[in-house]
Amino acid sequence: MIDAQHPSSILFITLDSCRYDTFVQTDAPSLKSIGPVHRAYAPAAFTYASHCAMFMGFTPGNPYVREPYINPKFAKIFKMVGPGFTGGGSEFVSLEGRNILDGLRRLGYLTLGTGAVDWFDTSTDTGRQLSVDFDRFYRPPLMWDIQKQVDWTASQLAQAKARNQPVLAFINVGETHSPYYHAGASWSPRPDPCVPFGQDNNADECRRRQSACLRFVDAALKPIIDAFSGSTTIACADHGDAWGEDGLWEHGVFHEKIFEVPLLFRLGQKPQPMTPGPVT
């Protein structure tokens, strides 16, 4: 069991490539305990661009409703001071800095991140760009090893708890990304059933696998989600995938199914400047 976190702490989970319909139709009690599931649209069609946008406060949203946070154009959960439209509602928190990670660090937060997909590979320039503003960052050896990500996050949270320090804990989940595989699955990750221009793609297999992966990661994430039960928690997908709609497969291009994603959130205590306490 992971100790409850500081009430100003923040958990941010991205289910890479998870389609909205997959999320709604799958039994995922831990993730769905966060709050209502909103049908939202991602800020970009692939991982790198979408996370860059989200780290600037542009979380997925529904542009057709005038509700704070559900529509980040109306009011953002995280608003960077200076750039961008000020919106029509009240932001949850305004931050100064390069992005929300830098902004929270300036308030005394410990920023923890773990990313599973290749865009977060810290041996590459792009991976370093996505991870540079985290105090501590971990990428598991395999894209589908959520348990290692959970264990690493739990160990880091324990250290922050000892200092009474609020954290931003970010987890990018790889199991829901094609080829839709999780540890111990009854199928092999290859062949991939969702390949651009592939000749042997299979939408039913994509749907079955992604749903099974979502159930698997939901169970693995439960102790982390429970630890943040009194804190701000956000879960969403960075984009979805096309499964043969209009002849398209996977992501990285424009299609409604690629941009349509789940969004869930609950907001706790607002971030404010803090000084970590001594280790006890």
Task: Write the pLDDT tens digit of every residue in 61-71.
Answer: 999 999 999 99
**Domain containing 132 — which CATH number?**
3.40.720.10
Specify if 34 maps to a domain.
yes
Which residues are 78's β-sheet partners? Answer: 93
Give the mean pLDDT of 236-259: 97
In a domain, 199, yes or no: yes
User: Using 50, 70 and 90 to split pLDDT, how confident is the model at 84?
Assistant: low
Q: Which amino acid is at 181?
A: Y
Asked whether the bond before 179 is cis by omega within 30 degrees of 0, the reply is yes
Residues 6+ apart with CB under 8 A from 279: 162, 163
Q: Tell me, what's the pLDDT at 274?
A: 73
pLDDT reading at 230 higher than 70 = yes
Q: What is the pTM of this model?
A: 0.95
pLDDT digits (tens, 9 = 90+) for 171-219: 999 999 999 999 999 999 999 999 999 999 999 999 999 999 999 999 9
Q: What percent of the chain has pLDDT over 70?
A: 95
Q: Could you tell me the residue range of the domain that residue 178 belongs to?
A: 10-61+97-266
Parallel, antiparallel, or unpaired for β 136-138 and 110-115? Answer: parallel
- pLDDT of residue 97 exceeding 60, the answer is yes
In total, how many domains does the chain have? 1
Question: Is residue 85 scored above 50 in pLDDT?
Answer: yes
In b/e form, how buried is each residue of 220-237, taking b as 16+ CB within 10 angstroms? bbeebbebbeebbbbbbb
Average of per-residue pLDDT values in the chain = 94
In a domain, 75, yes or no: no
Residue 278 has pLDDT above 50, yes or no: no
- Report yes or no on 139 lying in a domain: yes
In a domain, 3, yes or no: no
pLDDT of residue 164: 80
What pLDDT was estimated at residue 218? 98
Q: Give the pLDDT confidence of 108-147 residue by residue, as tens digits.
A: 999 999 999 999 999 999 999 999 999 999 999 999 999 9
Residue 174 in any domain: the answer is yes
Q: Note whether residue 196 is domain-resident.
A: yes
Which pLDDT does position 58 carry in this prediction? 96
Structural domain contains residue 278: no
The tokens of 26 are what? 């799958």
